[in-house]
Amino acid sequence: MALELVGGAALGAVFEKLFAAVVDASNKATQFESSLKKLEETLKSINPSILEMKKLNDELDRPKEEMEKLIQILKDGEKLIHKCSKVSCCSCFKKWRYANKIEALEDSLLNFFQVELQAQLGRNNVEILVMLKSNRFSLSNRGVSDNFENLGSCEATDPPAFMVGLDVPLKELKRWLFTDGESRIVVSAPGGCGKTTLAKRLCHDQQVKEYFTDICYVTVSKACDLIGIIKKLFWHNDEQVPSFQNEEDAVNQLERMLKRKVESGRILLVLDDVWSGSESVLAKFKKISGYKVLVTSRNEFPEFGSTYHLKLLSEEDAKTLFRHSAIPEDGSGSSMPSEDLVNTIVRCCKGFPLALEVVGRSLHGQPVEIWRSTLMKLSEGQSIVNSEDELRNCLQSSLDALDDKDIMLKECFMDLGSFPEDQKIPATALIDMWAELHKLDKGGIYAISNLQKLCSRNLLNLVVTRNDANEIDGCYNDAFVMQHDLLRDLAIYQSEQEPIEKRKRLIVDLTGNRLPEWWTKEKQPRSSARLVSISTDEMFSSSWCNMQLPEAEVLILNFNQTEKKYELPEFMKQMDELKVLVVTNYGFCTAELTNFSVLGSLSNLKRIRLEQVSIPTLCNTSMELKNLEKLSLVMCHKIGQAFASSTIQIPEMLPNLREINIDYCNDLVELPEGFCDLVQLNKLSIGNCHKLSSLPEGIGKLTNLEVLRVSACTLVSKLPDSMGSLHKLRVLDITGCLRIRKMPKQIGELRSLREFHMRRCPGLCELPSSVTDLVDLKRVICDEETAQLWECYTHLLPDLTLSVPEEIINLNWL
């Protein structure tokens, strides 16, 4: 029963308060249950009539005093319901008296709507017909066959009387709209963030109404009817509504009509709540020039126009909105919650307007004990999404829309719940998961495409900290995903709807050593989950219980340990189908990872990603990871020690390794020489290792290498001469290698090289003449100084393109 449904600020507010009070009381005051349920149904039935009355009064500019009697009835009704909630079950007289009062309230409402409101509606309809006649419009020349009453109004209804956090967005949108170059704008944000409220406030802004001679507001929703929208626009502009042959004919006639209208002033068209799948409809409006269009949507439509991202509320605005919803204006209630209690609950809502309103309404007028109980539930991990249907349904509708087109997108969204809240999710970790779990391409193109699609639907934020990252073949080391906590909670809620034995995803969040009841049973349930995620905090003792996970293909271990050892669980030995292992320490310091011997029995393991762990014992055993294809080490310590202490040769331990990623490993001084014997290796990526001074000369033995990335390794001063043997190398990246002064003469032997990334190499002062032998080189991505070194060779390399991208400093990865 949102405010906008009942229309009007004052009337809407009191109607909603009464309805909320009735619903709340019917759950608590069981002695009046039948009377309250009957009243609740009456309120639902009169809601459409209130909306119609308000709309007609606005159209005819009727005095607001006409609705004051109804407003007073509703206010008195709210006070009555609050009193009913306090009536004791033992007081028979009071129960009888208040039951009669509830019945009298219902009679008053019915009498108003059956007598007075019907009279007002009849009078207003007569006035509308008189106005049409005086303006020389008959029903026939406006298209009576289309039933003009069903076309609806193109006027924006009043926004809620109380709004916060919209002053800055309103100011910025007006600046965009008042600029000649901006003709199409998409206001994008997740559901429940206030897009519609912002659009309505914009339409009622005095400056906007003075700037535009005509403002048309159309609610589109999920089923987008192009011809229906165009008919509304004809009716709104006092034009005859034609019978259109098809959509193309409708667009053409609309264009001709708008051209006539534009001659007399500016036009603004607002399309509210446009869903994914409406791209073809927006494309039709894009063809028509001469007017401005503002679209609100949960999605982005970059092909249509500029995107304005509506942000979540600041902490101060969130507190203001919550207080308005939760705390009675007159300060009434059993007791007032403390400031700390209010602030803590507000923080749990994460700036989400709908969450603040929903939780606030649920606590409105409640005793402080109820507030504390709510906070306790939230503190213990129970999400607002689990308990508040209105919020969950709003968020769920965005997720349900994915089913219509691409079920795989929904599966990818659900997987994001496997990572801890408020933490960045490396794009490479998702690529590893999805390559095996959903059989997406192992290069990552389809995986990143899915992330882009989810980002365009505001279901996540994709952060790329390097502006040419997408240009490096298959390298997304500098891309991260962030997801709002409530959306993560939605994914987890969906995953938990099935019994543990049947879940696709098993997500376990352990606090201290408190294990779930099902985990400690003597006979544990046999899980069929293909993805398993276990998160532990710093109090966890690493004392693992046994788990039966015979079908799990992906295991994610998230922990928070500082200067302690973290032991891989023994139950991994029975995970015969395991293909991907992701282990991440979210503590402030590096923790040592132990018990690597469990990996030796995992014959299907293909990908390992370790982050912020020390791995000195990685190779202490004689285990062979025969099917391992990719090894990623991020912020790991003692890599050199790990491989130097190996009891078997690295090629015997990793015979099929095809990709190595090493990032932010600050104690890596030299690359283990054994890596140069991994003849199957296709990709070698080393980034941000600031103690690494050189690459081994034996790197030339990697004859199958296709991608070599040595990025932001600030002490590396040269590349090995043996690089000339890398005849299959397609991509070479030395971005940020500050000390490199020249390229080896043998670089001309890299006949397969197609991309060369060499930005931020200020020490580079010359190129060998052999670069003219790079006949397949298509692109060099560099800065202006390096581009000058290449210009004297470009005439000998006609297919070469020099790209100098703008340098973007992005610290979002922090």
Where is pLDDT greater, at 43 or 743? Answer: 743
Task: Report which DSSP code applies to 593.
Answer: E
Q: Which CATH number fits domain 500-667: 3.40.1350, 3.10.620, 3.30.720, 3.80.10?
A: 3.80.10
Handedness of CA 787, 788, 793, 797 (dihedral sign): positive
Mean pLDDT of the chain: 82
Split at pLDDT 50, 70, 90, the class of 72 is: confident
Domain segments of the chain as ranges? 1-136, 144-309, 406-487, 500-667, 668-814
User: 285 — phi, psi (to 5°)?
Assistant: -70, -30
d(CA 575, CA 606): 13
CATH number corresponding to 668-814: 3.80.10.10
The pLDDT of residue 191 is 85
DSSP result, 700-733: GG-TT--EEEEES-TT-----GGGGG-TT--EEE
The pLDDT of residue 3 is 35
Q: Which range (114-123, 161-170, 228-237, 789-798) has the least confidence?
A: 114-123
Where is pLDDT greater, at 564 or 133? Answer: 564
265 touches 212 (CB < 8 A): yes
Classify strands 267-274 and 707-711 as parallel, antiparallel or unpaired. unpaired
The pLDDT of residue 315 is 92
714 touches 693 (CB < 8 A): no
Mean pLDDT of 315-333: 81
Nearest residue to 585 (alpha-carbon basis) of 653, 622, 544, 538? 538
The pLDDT of residue 112 is 74
Strands (E), 427-504: 461-464, 479-482
The rounded radius of gyration (Å) of the Cα atoms in the chain is 33
The pLDDT of residue 148 is 44
436 touches 605 (CB < 8 A): no
Instruction: Say how far residue 439 (Cα) sits from the centre of its chain.
Output: 23
746 touches 724 (CB < 8 A): yes
Which residues fall within 8 angstroms of residue 548, CB to CB, at 6 or more apart?
Answer: 524, 525, 526, 527, 571, 574
Nearest residue to 487 (alpha-carbon basis) of 415, 550, 540, 588? 415
Q: Is the pLDDT score of 754 beyond 90?
A: yes
Question: Residue 503: what residue type?
Answer: R
| Domain 406-487: CATH architecture, name and number where available | Orthogonal Bundle (1.10)
DSSP result, 286-338: HH--SSEEEEEESS--TTTSEEEEPPPPPHHHHHHHHHHHHS-TT--SS-PPP
Mean pLDDT of 745-769: 92
Task: Tell me, yes or no, if the two domains 406-487 and 500-667 fold the same way.
Answer: no
Question: What is the greatest pairwise CA distance in the chain?
Answer: 104
d(CA 707, CA 730): 6
223 touches 206 (CB < 8 A): no
Q: Is the pLDDT score of 57 beyond 80?
A: no
- CB-based burial of residue 694 (10 Å sphere; 0-12 exposed, 13-18 middle, 19+ buried)? middle
590 touches 561 (CB < 8 A): no
Split at pLDDT 50, 70, 90, the class of 53 is: low
Buried b (16+ CB within 10 A) or exposed e, 349-374: bbbbbbbbbbbbbbbbbbeeeebeeb
Q: Which long-range contacts (CB under 8 A, 24 or more apart) does 202-206 make?
A: 202/170, 202/173, 202/174, 202/270, 202/294, 203/156, 203/268, 203/270, 204/156, 204/158, 204/159, 205/170, 205/174
Strands (E), 15-168: none
Q: Is the pLDDT score of 272 beyond 80?
A: yes
Is 3.40.50.300 the CATH number for 144-309? yes
Q: Which range (139-148, 197-206, 638-647, 730-739) has the least confidence?
A: 139-148
Other beta carbons less than 10 A from residue 87's beta carbon: 18
User: 340 — phi, psi (to 5°)?
Assistant: -65, -40
d(CA 411, CA 170): 36
The pLDDT of residue 291 is 86
Other beta carbons less than 10 A from residue 242's beta carbon: 16
Could you report the per-residue pLDDT of 372-429, keeping only the tens digit for each? 888 887 776 677 887 777 778 878 887 777 765 678 888 999 999 999 887 889 999 9
Q: Is the pLDDT score of 22 beyond 80?
A: yes
Extract the tokens encoding 692.
């690494």
DSSP result, 144-181: GGG-GGGG---SPPPPPS---S-HHHHHHHHHHHTSTT
d(CA 451, CA 416): 11
The pLDDT of residue 270 is 92
Split at pLDDT 50, 70, 90, the class of 554 is: very high
Split at pLDDT 50, 70, 90, the class of 692 is: very high
The pLDDT of residue 125 is 57
The pLDDT of residue 335 is 64
Where is pLDDT greater, at 512 or 679? Answer: 679
Mean pLDDT of 465-494: 74
Q: Is the pLDDT score of 62 beyond 80?
A: no
C-alpha dihedral over 532, 538, 542, 545, to 10 degrees?
-50
Nearest residue to 320 (alpha-carbon basis) of 165, 485, 161? 165
Where is pLDDT greater, at 494 or 472? Answer: 494
- Determine if residue 445 is left, alpha or beta; phi over 0 gives left, psi from -120 to 50 gives alpha, anything else beta: alpha
- CB-based burial of residue 340 (10 Å sphere; 0-12 exposed, 13-18 middle, 19+ buried)? exposed
The pLDDT of residue 563 is 63
Split at pLDDT 50, 70, 90, the class of 133 is: very low
Could you report the per-residue pLDDT of 643-653, keeping only the tens digit for each? 876 777 888 88
d(CA 211, CA 270): 15
Could you report the per-residue pLDDT of 24-44, keeping only the tens digit for each? 887 777 777 778 888 888 887
Buried b (16+ CB within 10 A) or exposed e, 760-794: bbeebeebeebbebbeebebbbbbeebbebbeebe
Mean pLDDT of 637-659: 85
Quickly list H helices, 457-498: 485-495
Question: Residue 615: what residue type?
Answer: I
